[in-house]
Chains A and B, each alone.
Chain A
Amino acid sequence: MLLQRFLIRLLTMLVTLFGVAVVVFVVIRVAPGDPIAMMLPPGATDADIARLRALYGLDKTIVQQFFIWLSGVVRGDFGTSISLRQDVLSLVFNRLPATLELAIVALLMAVAIGGTTAILGARERGTAVEAGIDIASGAALSIPDFLWGLVLILLFGVLVPIFDISGRVSPQLDLPFFTQFYLAESILRLRFDLTWDLLKHMLMPAVALALPLAAIISQLLKQSLKEVLDLDYVVLARVKGFSETQVILREALKNAALPTLTLVGVQFTFLIGGTVIVERLFSYEGLGNMAIDAVINRDLPLIQGIVLVFALLFVLINLTVDMMYALLNPRLRHG
């Protein structure tokens, strides 16, 4: 049952990815503006242009170009970046860890903030505390990450300059890292001085990304907690003498968390989509920031590669959440 569900999801996932590949390929190929003309110095001859067009395969028809590209992608060859003149896949893999670390830190923050306020709001239901939490989460949800980023830059970058507002790490530092997962590696190698520097750069973009998601988690989890808190088994726990906080943490949370989990999956993909502009805002050297440069430079192979990697990330997250839901939900597990 579970395996069948998994295989069907895997198949739809491949169809979706193929769709993304087609759409992005078609969209960028109708673009006016010749990427080859931008690469060459002024005064290049027509023969030079033709030679370069052939080198990048731009002299073939769209359908031919698509299948040449696709057969490369299947083999792990995403082509060569036109503006950076490097292998697209290695460029993407160089930047992806920075974006992943940012997104995961943001997700953890959203769960922590959203979870805490939901539990607090459910415990203090009907009071001014709950009303305050509702107003705060309403505002956090309505204001998008881009604007939160700017607010944070003003507050903690300029007014009280305690965090860095641009880059991933202070440029003067010597980095002894073997991988691009700087944050994880700095912790594993106990270089907490570097961890601190990385966090000082990462905290504000992460909070900007986390706030809208934290608000959603807070609202939904609080709602399900309040529903569960009226059920018999919870009342029984209360009669047994557990405090309200204990009742929530030990009895209610387990059963209230499932609806939130499904939602967090979809919302996490929105969060990752938000990294594109937030990375730009904070000059954070991640995949999104590189994507914007690629668009501005009309670097077709690089844009294609980045969009496809983002899409792969999104469908993988949805698949994971779907499978987790099926595993955790007893009705689906035995159904």
Chain B
Amino acid sequence: MDERRAPRRGVSPRLWLAGGWLLLALLAAIFAPLVAPQDPLAQDLMLERLPPFWLDGAEPGYWLGTDSLGRDLLSRLIFGGRIAFIVAFAAAIATCLVGSTLGLISGYFGGWADRIISRIVDVWMAFPPVLFAILLVAVLGTGLSSVIIAIAVIDWTRFCRVIRAETMGQSRMDYVENARIAGYGRIGIMLREVLPNVVPSIVALLSLEMGIAVIVEAILSFVNLSISTDDPTWGGIIAEGRISIHQAWWVLVFPLITLILTVLSFSQFGEALKTRFDPVLR
């Protein structure tokens, strides 16, 4: 049991690294116009496919090189981070609101509400998620809000399933029965007594969902269905990198590293929160 208690005593170095990376990327995204060395949209065919700074032929000021239109890669990554973080936060919160609400209702009230919601979850689980997301964005029209809505519409089941199970467990506890005897109404008990006890799971899932949202956004912009094609996105840069992979590998490598670090950091956070709040592991 001792090694399971370890994360509680101090924050592990892995968590520090994850937090450090996310903070760095977030600050860079917020202050993008100040920190980006170049205009992310400026094309210059004289500067096309410049390699990163440590290779021969690199130009000062273009640290990570340029793409096939001569646009600065580092600046595009920094500005792409804006879209990534907006989608991560907005989509995760939207997904959480829809999924947790339905999960709470389904788990607490049971009966018909539970049967109907569970049946809808079954239907949703029978869709291939990526295809569903692509279809939704195609229907809603490209744009930031479409991407966010699409993620919430496909992924709410993740919250719903977990929160439903947690709520069911909580509802059988003595304190819920006591509150009922004390004369509290059902909705009051659900919101004031049960909800606070499932919040830890919600917070842990939120962090995981942010990582998922970043990936879904990248996939959507990879197939050119995210936001307008002018704005740089991590997935859009990856799509360019995939095409020019034999001429300019760095256009694929750097956004890929950025995405992997971001996703790993979000999942590290989620895992750490889960262990910290889980009464069994604690």
Tell whether B113 is near chain A: CB-to-CB under 8 Å. Answer: no
Enumerate A276-332 residues with CB–CB distance to B below 8 Å: 276-277, 280-281, 288, 291-292, 295-296, 298, 303, 306-307, 310-311, 314-315
- Assign chain A's interface to a size class: 35 or more
CB distance from B103 to the nearest CB of A (A): 18
The proximity string for B residues 217-229 relative to A, scoring 1 for CB distances below 8 Å and 0 otherwise, is: 0110011010000
Q: Which among B123, B129, B225, B263 is the interface contact of A16 at CB below 8 angstroms?
A: B123
Tell whether A151 is near chain B: CB-to-CB under 8 Å. Answer: yes
Closest residue of chain B to A298, judged by CB? B138
The proximity string for B residues 119-147 relative to A, scoring 1 for CB distances below 8 Å and 0 otherwise, is: 11011011111111011101101000000
**Contacts A142-B263, A147-B215, A158-B245 known; A17 to B126 CB distance under 8 Å?**
yes
The proximity string for A residues 138-158 relative to B, scoring 1 for CB distances below 8 Å and 0 otherwise, is: 010011101100110110011
Check A12–B264 contact: CB distance below 8 A. no
- Docked pose: A190 CA to B221 CA in angstroms: 42
Tell whether A97 is near chain B: CB-to-CB under 8 Å. Answer: no
Check A146–B122 contact: CB distance below 8 A. no
Interface centre among B126, B238, B268 (most CB of A within 10 A): B126
**Contacts A19-B119, A310-B128 known; A31 to B138 CB distance under 8 Å?**
yes
Interface centre among B238, B252, B260 (most CB of A within 10 A): B260
Check A281–B242 contact: CB distance below 8 A. yes
Tell whether B50 is near chain A: CB-to-CB under 8 Å. Answer: no
Tell whether B249 is near chain A: CB-to-CB under 8 Å. Answer: yes
Q: Which among B119, B129, B138 is the interface contact of A296 at CB below 8 angstroms?
A: B138
Closest residue of chain B to A278, judged by CB? B130
Tell whether A272 is near chain B: CB-to-CB under 8 Å. Answer: yes
The proximity string for B residues 226-269 relative to A, scoring 1 for CB distances below 8 Å and 0 otherwise, is: 00000000000010001001100100110010011001100110
Check B245–A157 contact: CB distance below 8 A. yes
Check A303–B263 contact: CB distance below 8 A. no
- Docked pose: A53 CA to B234 CA in angstroms: 39
Chain B residues with CB under 8 A of A30: 139
Tell whether A23 is near chain B: CB-to-CB under 8 Å. Answer: yes
Tell whether A20 is near chain B: CB-to-CB under 8 Å. Answer: yes
Q: Which among A20, A154, A269, A306 is the interface contact of B253 at CB below 8 angstroms?
A: A154
Check A20–B123 contact: CB distance below 8 A. yes
- Docked pose: A311 CA to B211 CA in angstroms: 26
- Docked pose: A292 CA to B134 CA in angstroms: 7
Tell whether A15 is near chain B: CB-to-CB under 8 Å. Answer: yes
**Contacts A15-B119, A277-B219, A295-B134 known; A147 to B256 CB distance under 8 Å?**
yes
Tell whether A32 is near chain B: CB-to-CB under 8 Å. Answer: yes
CB distance from A233 to the nearest CB of B (A): 26
**Contacts A147-B260, A147-B263, A150-B242 known; A276 to B130 CB distance under 8 Å?**
yes
Check A27–B127 contact: CB distance below 8 A. no
Tell whether A274 is near chain B: CB-to-CB under 8 Å. Answer: yes
Check A314–B242 contact: CB distance below 8 A. no
Check A151–B256 contact: CB distance below 8 A. yes
Chain B residues with CB under 8 A of A147: 215, 256, 259-260, 263
Enumerate A16-47 residues with CB–CB distance to B below 8 Å: 16-17, 19-20, 23-24, 27-28, 30-32
The proximity string for A residues 169-207 relative to B, scoring 1 for CB distances below 8 Å and 0 otherwise, is: 000000000000000000000000000000000000000
Chain B residues with CB under 8 A of A157: 245
CB distance from A203 to the nearest CB of B (A): 18
Tell whether A273 is near chain B: CB-to-CB under 8 Å. Answer: yes
Check B131–A273 contact: CB distance below 8 A. yes
Check B131–A310 contact: CB distance below 8 A. yes
Q: Which among B132, B134, B215, B245 is the interface contact of A146 at CB below 8 angstroms?
A: B215
Chain A residues with CB under 8 A of B138: 31, 295-296, 298
Check B263–A144 contact: CB distance below 8 A. yes
Check A143–B139 contact: CB distance below 8 A. no
Check A295–B135 contact: CB distance below 8 A. yes
Closest residue of chain B to A314, judged by CB? B126
Q: Which among A20, A295, A296 is the interface contact of B127 at CB below 8 angstroms?
A: A20
Check A27–B136 contact: CB distance below 8 A. yes
**Contacts A277-B219, A311-B126 known; A158 to B249 CB distance under 8 Å?**
yes
Q: Which among A150, A165, A277, A311 is the interface contact of B256 at CB below 8 angstroms?
A: A150
Chain B residues with CB under 8 A of A151: 256, 260
Check A142–B131 contact: CB distance below 8 A. no
Closest residue of chain B to A21, judged by CB? B123
Check A291–B131 contact: CB distance below 8 A. yes
Name B residues whose Cβ lies closer than 8 Å to a Cβ of A. Answer: 119-120, 122-123, 125-132, 134-136, 138-139, 141, 211, 215, 218-219, 222-223, 225, 238, 242, 245-246, 249, 252-253, 256, 259-260, 263-264, 267-268
- Listed by A's residue number, 17 A-B pairs whose Cβ atoms lie within 8 Å are A23-B127, A24-B127, A28-B139, A32-B139, A142-B211, A154-B252, A154-B256, A158-B245, A277-B130, A291-B131, A292-B223, A295-B131, A295-B134, A295-B138, A296-B138, A307-B132, A310-B131
New A-B contacts (8) at CB < 8 Å, excluding given A151-B256, A274-B130: A16-B126, A20-B126, A32-B141, A277-B130, A280-B222, A291-B131, A291-B134, A314-B128
The 10 lowest CB-CB distance pairs between A and B, nearest first, are: A19-B123, A273-B128, A311-B126, A142-B267, A31-B139, A276-B130, A310-B128, A314-B126, A295-B138, A276-B131
Name A residues whose Cβ lies closer than 8 Å to a Cβ of B. Answer: 12, 15-17, 19-20, 23-24, 27-28, 30-32, 139, 142-144, 146-147, 150-151, 153-154, 157-158, 165, 269, 272-274, 276-277, 280-281, 288, 291-292, 295-296, 298, 303, 306-307, 310-311, 314-315
